Structure 1
Amino acid sequence: MAKRDQMLRLIHISNLLQSKKNVGATYDEVLNYLEEKHYSNGFDNDLAFSEKTFKRDRDLLWELFGIEIQFKRSTMTYQIVEDENLEQSKGVFDNLLLVNAYRQTADHSKIMLFEKRQASGLHNLEGLIYAIKNSKLISFNYTKYWDGIPQRKVVESYAVKEFRNRWYLLANENEGKGFFIKTHGLDRLTDLEIHNKTFKNIETDIEKLFVNSFGIVSTPCETPRKIVLSFDPWQGKFVKSLPIHHSQKTLVENDEEFRIELTLVPTYDFYQELLTHAERLRIMEPKSVREEYLKFLSVALEMNEKDKKF
């Protein structure tokens, strides 16, 4: 694993090239940037950096984070290659950037203002990763929100998935009786035990189970639908910068509207997302999705109309 100084270099190199992703940076520009960061971080010694070091750092960025840096000979510049690997690893690297920023502001709590969060269950993450990699059976107590009664479960763990700042375990509960992946919120999981007993890992593309989904409900046996949404131009800027779904395509972008097309299976999570855009959204098609969405609005209106009596 990279040492602290090297990890800081990786962060600084990535930051620089991300900020220059269209034009790239020469080796001298990278060197000058690193020297500036090196001395601004309070190091008195000279920066130990060379073209050979830069090559090792580029290799590490690819090996650890899937960030590929390509040399463009025509301009003698280095650029980050935008592809699927970069998108998939970006969350991990973004967290490193956050940790580094927090380290610099640890004595200034008013500079970085974090949300007040409840327990997330991430203390179990390392154990779960070990169990997944080694096909170990695990057991834990799981408490569903709607009944509040802990139940002991024994499962075969396959992956962990993030959705809206929550992490979920994807596991097969039907040990020896079939295969069905279920999701378990890590914040509701306690008393984790990793067993010595292993299970036969069934080769499956876990990511494919969710490719047509929004959220944590897998929909492998359902046919995705093309959904066309129209936003006012201001809300459209947010939707464009943070797409609702990976299938999002822009159909119209002008001073009147921002219209997109999604290809997915509409689930409860998806309708909840649409409700966050309520007064700035029109569902153009299909009619069935519009009608289901209006049912959610109707229920909300009815509940609030009742409250007028109090």
Structure 2
Amino acid sequence: MPVNRNALIRYRTIDQCLQNRFKKWTLDDLIDACSEALYEYQGINTGVSRRTVQADMEMMRSNKLGYEAPIIVVDKKYYTYSDKNYSITNSPLNQQDMQVLTEVSGLLKQFKGFNHFTDLNEMVSKLEDKIYSQKTQGPPVIDFEKNDNLKGLEWIEVIRKAIVAKKTMCVTYQSFKAREANTFCFSGYLLKEYRNRWFVLGLPHKRNNQILTLALDRIQTIQEDEEPYRENTVLDLATYYNDCIGVTKSPGQRDSEVVFWIDTANAPYVITKPLHHTQKLLSEDESGKIFSMRVILNFELERELLGFGAKMRVLGPRTLVKQIKEQLAKTLESYKIPGTETGEN
């Protein structure tokens, strides 16, 4: 059954709303959400009628699109899914979905090879692999890195919309070090991915007004807040993370020249995949190679360097060398077994 783009936007919007069980969704709430989505994606500002959203939910409940969504009404007022794990995005792709994906893939392939669209290459490969496995009903031929159990992914679209619309968010957040969660107003500026984890850079509405990076997997709730959004007037978001491995950084923090040696056998690994775009080869001999890079000293940098173990030795700066030595000493200490001298079984 043909479905136009506007209807698909409404279906996905209703689906996202009903997945969010932190809020009770009335029909008026769903109408407002669909109207906002159509304005954002299509520029349509005429709004959505009550009858349209009701018809959309009936269509989602049916098997005409293959959704059979378990939409129920609670207390004769609030809409939700009876199955908290349900989403129309988990439904198998139908023939129309396949046709749309094939058209999108063909369009994106036209941009492959252009410098401004190098980030599209992986996206196109993922899309083509999905289409191939769906058409052939066989296993995929590309296994991309992923973490299906990663928490916080449901907040990506919520935060992205808030950033685009310049809306303040009321965030309930609990870091790994905190004993209890904290709720505060937050103006988001940039979503950042690092090693399959997602973070949002922004400004908490507190007295200190310090830029903060929040991990999405530690966010418990997000709600739109009426407090005025605070514009970014300090950071160049396009270059903010250029001198950083990971996401741990403070505005104004200066980078350092990090120098490290790596043995001959493992040098090709950092040559073919540099630790940072500023990495340079300084010298080499039979034992190994010495590289340098200019980066912020942070936790992620230490973890990256420690991951090479005895195959790498940090030569500078002194503060980093000291920190690495301390971490290695703690590691050796943790392997010692009480009552023995060597720590061996």
Return the TM-score normalized by structure 2. Answer: 0.61
Q: CA deviation at 1:184?
A: 1.0
Q: Within the alignment, does 1:291 sit opposite 2:322 as a pair?
A: yes
Counterpart amino acid of residue 102 in structure 1:
K
In angstroms, what is the RMSD of aligned CA positions?
3.0
- Aligned with 1:224 (options 246, 249, 255): 255
Shift of 1:276: 0.5
Does residue 105 (structure 1) correspond to residue 129 (structure 2)? The answer is no
Q: Could you tell me which residue of structure 2 aligns to residue 244 of structure 1?
A: 275
Matches within 5 A, 1:159-238: 159-175=190-206, 177=207, 179-203=209-233, 204-238=235-269
Instruction: Give the structure 1 partner of residue 294 of structure 2.
Output: 263
Q: Assess if the C-alpha contact under 8 Å between 1:213 and 1:219 holds in 2.
A: no
Letter of the structure 2 residue corresponding to residue 94 of structure 1: E
Of 223-232 and 146-155, more deviation after overlay is shown by: 146-155
Would the aligned equivalents of 1:209 and 1:218 in 2 still touch at CA under 8 Å? no
CA distance in 2, matches of 1:196, 1:101: 43
The answer as to whether partners of 1:102 and 1:112 remain within 8 angstroms in 2 is no
Closer, same or farther in 2 for the Cα pair 1:298/1:127, shift >3 Å?
Answer: same
Partner of 1:122 in structure 2? 153
Partner secondary structure for residue 291 of structure 2: strand
Which of 80, 87, 101 is the equivalent residue of 1:4? 101
Q: Distance in 1 between matches of 2:180 and 2:250?
A: 28
**CA separation of 1:280 and 1:165: change in aligned 2, threshold 3 A:** same
Cα distance change on mapping 1:130 and 1:94 into 2, 3 Å: same
Contact 1:140 1:192 in 2 (8 A): yes
Q: Deviations over 1:44-89 (max 9, x none)?
A: xxxxxxxxxxxxx4xxx3xxxxx6x5xxxxxxxxxx44xxx45xx6
* Identical residues among aligned pairs (%): 17
Q: Secondary structure at the match of 1:258?
A: strand
My pick for the range that moved more, 108-117 or 93-102, is 108-117
Greater shift after overlay, 120-129 or 208-217? 208-217
Letter in 2 for 1:282: R
Q: Which structure 2 residues correspond to residues 27-106 of structure 1 after superposition, within 5 A?
A: 57=110, 61=111, 80-81=114-115, 85-86=116-117, 90=119, 93-106=121-134
Residues 223/150 of structure 1: CA separation in 2 closer, same or farther (3 Å cut): closer
Q: Distance in 2 between matches of 1:270 and 1:167?
A: 18
Match of 1:131 among 162, 185, 191: 162
Q: Deviations over 1:21-52 (max 9, x none)?
A: xxxxxxxxxxxxxxxxxxxxxxxxxxxxxxxx
8 Å Cα contact 2:173/2:219 also seen in 1 = yes
Which of 167, 180, 184 is 1:153 aligned to? Answer: 184
Give the unaligned 5+ runs of structure 2: 6-98
Paired AA for residue 247 in structure 2: I
**How far is 1:239 from its partner?**
1.2
Amino acid across the alignment from 1:130: K
| Structure number with higher relative contact order (C-alpha < 8 Å, ≥ 6 residues apart) | 1
Per the TM alignment, residue 210 of structure 1 is displaced from its structure 2 partner at its CA by 3.0
TM-score, length-scaled by structure 1: 0.67
In the alignment, the residues of structure 2 paired with residue 242 and residue 201 of structure 1 have an alpha-carbon distance, to the nearest angstrom, of 36
Equivalent residue, structure 1, for 2:90? none
Q: Deviations over 1:118-143 (max 9, x none)?
A: 23322221121111112100112212
CA contact (8 A) 2:168 2:224 kept: yes
**SS in structure 1 at match of 2:265:** helix
Aligned to 1:36: none
> Gaps (5+ residues) in structure 1?
14-56, 62-66, 70-79
What secondary structure, in the 3-state scheme, does the structure 1 residue paired with 2:335 have? helix
Letter in 2 for 1:8: S
Distance in 1 separating the partners of 2:161 and 2:121: 21
Distance 2:123 2:217 in 1: 19
* C-alpha distance in 2 between matches for 1:178 and 1:98: 43
Q: Distance in 2 between matches of 1:109 and 1:150?
A: 42
